[in-house]
Amino acid sequence: MPKLKFGTIVPTPEEEAAIQAGIAADTDTYELNDEEFAQLRQIPHYLKADSPKEFTDIMLDADVLEAFKATGKDWQTRINLVLRDWLETHRI
Protein backbone atom coordinates (compact mmCIF):
# COMPACT_ATOMS: atom_id res chain seq x y z
CA MET A 1 0.00 0.00 0.00
CA PRO A 2 1.38 3.45 -0.89
CA LYS A 3 2.34 5.86 1.85
CA LEU A 4 -0.65 8.03 2.73
CA LYS A 5 -0.49 11.80 2.86
CA PHE A 6 -0.69 13.46 6.25
CA GLY A 7 -4.30 13.98 7.24
CA THR A 8 -5.69 11.15 5.10
CA ILE A 9 -8.72 9.59 6.74
CA VAL A 10 -8.99 5.85 6.15
CA PRO A 11 -12.52 4.38 6.20
CA THR A 12 -13.40 2.04 9.03
CA PRO A 13 -14.17 -1.57 8.06
CA GLU A 14 -17.88 -0.76 8.37
CA GLU A 15 -17.54 2.30 6.14
CA GLU A 16 -15.53 0.32 3.60
CA ALA A 17 -18.24 -2.38 3.56
CA ALA A 18 -20.88 0.31 2.93
CA ILE A 19 -18.77 1.78 0.12
CA GLN A 20 -18.33 -1.65 -1.51
CA ALA A 21 -22.07 -2.37 -1.15
CA GLY A 22 -22.84 0.95 -2.84
CA ILE A 23 -20.50 0.12 -5.73
CA ALA A 24 -22.08 -3.32 -6.13
CA ALA A 25 -25.60 -1.85 -6.10
CA ASP A 26 -24.84 0.85 -8.70
CA THR A 27 -25.80 -0.52 -12.13
CA ASP A 28 -24.17 2.44 -13.92
CA THR A 29 -20.63 1.61 -12.87
CA TYR A 30 -18.30 -1.04 -11.49
CA GLU A 31 -14.95 -1.21 -9.77
CA LEU A 32 -12.07 -1.57 -12.22
CA ASN A 33 -9.93 -4.68 -12.08
CA ASP A 34 -6.11 -4.42 -11.99
CA GLU A 35 -5.75 -4.79 -15.77
CA GLU A 36 -8.32 -2.08 -16.52
CA PHE A 37 -6.77 0.25 -13.97
CA ALA A 38 -3.27 -0.28 -15.40
CA GLN A 39 -4.59 0.52 -18.88
CA LEU A 40 -5.93 3.87 -17.64
CA ARG A 41 -2.51 4.80 -16.29
CA GLN A 42 -0.87 4.52 -19.73
CA ILE A 43 -0.08 7.91 -21.21
CA PRO A 44 -0.99 8.19 -24.91
CA HIS A 45 1.97 8.94 -27.16
CA TYR A 46 0.55 12.32 -28.18
CA LEU A 47 0.49 13.53 -24.54
CA LYS A 48 4.12 12.70 -23.82
CA ALA A 49 6.78 15.38 -23.58
CA ASP A 50 8.26 14.52 -26.98
CA SER A 51 5.09 15.91 -28.59
CA PRO A 52 5.81 19.66 -28.64
CA LYS A 53 2.94 22.12 -28.55
CA GLU A 54 2.79 25.42 -30.36
CA PHE A 55 0.92 28.49 -29.22
CA THR A 56 -1.81 29.72 -31.55
CA ASP A 57 -4.83 31.99 -31.53
CA ILE A 58 -8.01 30.40 -32.83
CA MET A 59 -11.51 31.77 -33.24
CA LEU A 60 -14.24 29.46 -31.91
CA ASP A 61 -17.99 29.90 -31.59
CA ALA A 62 -18.83 31.07 -28.08
CA ASP A 63 -21.01 28.04 -27.35
CA VAL A 64 -18.26 25.63 -28.42
CA LEU A 65 -15.70 27.40 -26.25
CA GLU A 66 -18.02 27.48 -23.24
CA ALA A 67 -18.85 23.78 -23.65
CA PHE A 68 -15.16 22.85 -23.52
CA LYS A 69 -14.43 25.23 -20.63
CA ALA A 70 -17.34 23.69 -18.72
CA THR A 71 -15.52 20.34 -18.76
CA GLY A 72 -12.97 21.78 -16.34
CA LYS A 73 -9.21 21.94 -16.15
CA ASP A 74 -7.27 20.93 -19.29
CA TRP A 75 -10.08 21.93 -21.65
CA GLN A 76 -7.48 23.02 -24.22
CA THR A 77 -6.02 19.51 -24.22
CA ARG A 78 -9.48 18.10 -24.91
CA ILE A 79 -9.89 20.45 -27.89
CA ASN A 80 -6.54 19.17 -29.16
CA LEU A 81 -7.71 15.55 -28.74
CA VAL A 82 -10.94 16.23 -30.62
CA LEU A 83 -9.01 17.83 -33.48
CA ARG A 84 -6.53 14.93 -33.53
CA ASP A 85 -9.39 12.42 -33.65
CA TRP A 86 -10.93 14.34 -36.55
CA LEU A 87 -7.62 14.29 -38.44
CA GLU A 88 -7.37 10.51 -38.00
CA THR A 89 -10.81 9.97 -39.53
CA HIS A 90 -10.90 12.62 -42.27
CA ARG A 91 -8.76 13.61 -45.21
CA ILE A 92 -7.63 17.21 -45.60
What is d(CA 70, CA 66) in angstroms, rounded to the nearest whole number?
6
> In this predicted model, what pLDDT tens digit does every residue of 7-41 receive, in sequence order?
999 999 999 999 989 988 998 888 888 888 888 87
Say what the pTM is: 0.45
The whole-number pLDDT of residue 65 equals 95
Q: What percent of the chain has pLDDT over 90?
A: 43
Q: What residue ranges do the domains of the chain occupy?
A: 13-89
Number of H helices, E strands in the chain: 4, 0
